[in-house]
Amino acid sequence: MLRDIVKARIEELVSDLGDWTLEFQDDDTRGHFSANCAFGLAKRKGRSPIEVAREISETIKKSGEDIFSNVEAVHPGFVNIYIHPQFFFREIEKNLMLGSEYGKNTIGTGRKARIEYVSANPTGPIHIGNARGGPYGESIARVFEMSGYETFREYFHNDAGTQIEKLAATVWYWYETIRGGSAEFPEGGYQGTYLEEVARAAHATLGGALSMSDIGTITDFTLEFILKENEDVLRRLGIHFDGFFKESDFLSKGKTESSIAFLKKKGMLKESEGAWWFAPKDEFLEDRESVVVRSNGKPTYFASDIAYHREKFESGYDIVIDVFGSNHHGHVPKLQALARIFGFDPQYFSVLLYQFVRVKKGKEVVKMSKRAGTYVTAKEVLDEVGSDNLVFSLLSSAPVTHLDFDLDLAKEQSMKNPVYYVQYAHVRAENIIEKSGAEEPKSESDVFSEFVFSPHDMNLIRRIAEFPCVVADTARDYEVHRLTRYAFDLARAFHNFYEHERVIGPDGAISVPRLALVFAARNVFRSVFHCIGISAPKKM
RNA sequence: GCCCUCGUAGUUCAAUGGAUAGAACGCUGGCCUCCGAAGCUGGUAAUAGAGGUUCGACUCCUCUCGAGGGCACCA
């Protein structure tokens, strides 16, 4: 990609730069790229940054390298780099040749990554509070694919344990009630009307003749029902999984048990008060301990999670990623300890936490609780504002922020969501293409060198050339909201281009170079929309 | 009590330790005989508070004040 090319050229010319960055600039008042390399060098040499910047700038100028059209040292010590337009044109040509392949990189070539996300508890519908993890994980997976990784998307289904028993007991209560019997609402049961619906479906499907001894049938039906509903919602968000893992399978196949045995043998479990506690005492853990086997001999959820992560770590993958809600943060050091125990380099295991979305209705905060039955489901919001709108909103902010989602405002402003601004730019591009009747240029023919581009043209060209960097940066730091911001910036550049320059003249004459730009922009819109997980409409 | 995360325009969000803190919505002034005005182009307005680190701090450190979450033989 262009940025790396420029950076490499500079490093060939100037030695001992250490860590430094080269930044794309929005407008050319500060160069096409800005380098902060003089600061670090000045510090190490005990000199003033601006002086060092001047020297670097002189060195680059004197080199006579054809890629640099101008270099400036600017107070307090930036080196602003101007690139010969020819090098931007080459990026556009590359884009036209590669089409949807443009923007791919080789960071993960030959490597396999598995990424777990959503993994919503099957005790109710996915609610908007934790729906954030879906688009987040999916987007990382897509960026990984753009970066050459072979990716495996996985979902863990907590279909065992006492919460599931309570869930089933609640459905049983409703089932009994529906068929006219009398039952008492179970202690610690799930409030709300959702499970009544499930029970109604169970009654319709399984008939009304089940007895208490068929609670297993009710349980299976309930879990199946909820998982299916949640899968539907995820599908609407453009999310699919390559594998579902069930806690019940880890238990029934003895994997949980054998992992416990393994840890005991390794001395990682400690007995206290009749229970077994996870206590590996390595650099990840200080005094954190956690029960793996209860004093009644039953394994906890954590035991199955250990077995599941053992499978992840021993499966021959190069990168393992978990995307969890921030409430799991106390779990993270334990998981990292497991990586070490099961022989996986912790450096390649990331637990990415996102903060829950807080939902408001006007000024009122909606408390989310599945047990209390008070929540806004992802489905409701989807029905109200649509998938593209919701996905773009959720991915517009850093996962670490506590974002507020005002349901009333979302309904009211759904037509004003930035996603439409971005998609509309794509529609305009498609529209020009359709109107021109032209085929996508594939050849390497040089259509740019003779043409005099305006600043608006050049801004668009530079944005397009930035795309490969956006993908590569995101593949490294997982900051997927960079994608939505980039999509917005690209759209702005395109709208500006569209308003100020003409591709098809009033007389019907087509500007071939500009049409090529439209094709290139369209290609990037498609790619970035795919990474985000929104559609690329031709009409709106 | 201990731990994690977050406090940026009226509101919702941006800003790999970099230059003049950006958008959107809101309020407001212009622009369609011209590839779709879901657009373009102006205006308004912000780093919770106090110290510190350094060439430079929204960003890192300390404290205070707010908000969310975690500290179960729940999952």
**A533 CB less than 7 Å from any atom of strand B:** no
Nucleotide nearest the Cα atom of A247 (by C1'): B75
Q: Nearest CA to the C1' of B40 belongs to which residue?
A: A499
Shortest-distance nucleotide from A498 CA to C1': B35
pLDDT tens readout for residues A367-396: 777 777 778 889 989 998 899 999 999 999
Q: Which residues have C-beta within 8 Å of that of residue A267, sequence separation ≥ 6?
A: none
- Note the CA–C1' distance, A81 to B55, in angstroms: 21
* Token representation of residue A211: 């007895």
CA–C1' distance A494–B30 (Å)? 22
| pLDDT of A282 | 56
CA-to-CA distance for A488 and A473, rounded, in angstroms?
17
Distance A364 CA to B23 C1' (A): 26
Residue A284 pLDDT more than 60?
Answer: no
Cβ neighbours of residue A350 closer than 8 Å, sequence gap 6 or more:
A319, A320, A321, A322, A478
Check whether residue A47 has its CB closer than 7 Å to nucleic acid strand B: no
CA of A485 to C1' of B40 (A): 20
Q: How confident is the model at residue A285 (pLDDT cuts 50, 70, 90)?
A: low
Nearest protein residue, CA measured to C1' of B73: A294
Range with lowest mean pLDDT among A3-7, A36-40, A199-203, A359-363: A359-363
Q: What is the pLDDT of residue A133?
A: 94
Task: Determine the distance between A479 (CA) and B7 (C1') in angstroms.
Answer: 21
In eight-state DSSP terms, residue A510 is: B
DSSP string, A223-279: HHHHHHHHHHHHHHTT---SEEEEHHHHHHTTHHHHHHHHHHHTT-EEEETTEEEE-
Q: How many CB atoms lie within 10 A of CB A132?
A: 25
Please give the nucleotide, over all strands, whose C1' is closest to the CA of residue A415: B38
CA angle A321, A390, A361 (to 5 degrees): 115
- Phi and psi (nearest 5°) for A454? -85, 170
pLDDT of residue A255: 96
Nucleic strand B within 7 A of Cβ A200: no
Q: Could you tell me the pTM of the whole model?
A: 0.94
E strand residue ranges, A141-231: 150-157
Arithmetic mean of pLDDT over chain A: 91
- pLDDT tens profile A304-334: 999 999 999 999 999 999 999 998 988 898 9
Query: From CA A219, how far away is CA A215, in angstroms rounded?
Result: 6
Domains present along chain A, CATH in parentheses: 2-83 (3.30.1360.70), 112-157+239-354 (3.40.50.620), 162-236 (no CATH), 417-532 (1.10.730.10)
User: Is the shortest CB-to-strand distance from A476 to strand B under 7 Å?
Assistant: no
Kindly report the bases of strand B lying within 7 A of a protein C-beta atom. Answer: 3-7, 11-16, 18-20, 23-26, 34-41, 55-56, 67-75
Length of chain A: 540
- A23 CB-to-strand B distance under 7 Å: yes
DSSP A266-326: TT-EEEETTEEEE---STT-SS--EEEE-TTS-B-HHHHHHHHHHHHHTTT-SEEEEEEEG
Instruction: Answer for A124: CB within 7 Å of strand B.
Output: no
Which of A121, A381, A153 has the alpha carbon at shortest distance from A226? A121
Strand B proximal to A329 Cβ, under 7 A: yes
For A6, A68, A73, the CA distances from A65, given in Å and listed in that order, are: 11, 6, 17
Strand B–CB A24 distance below 7 A: no
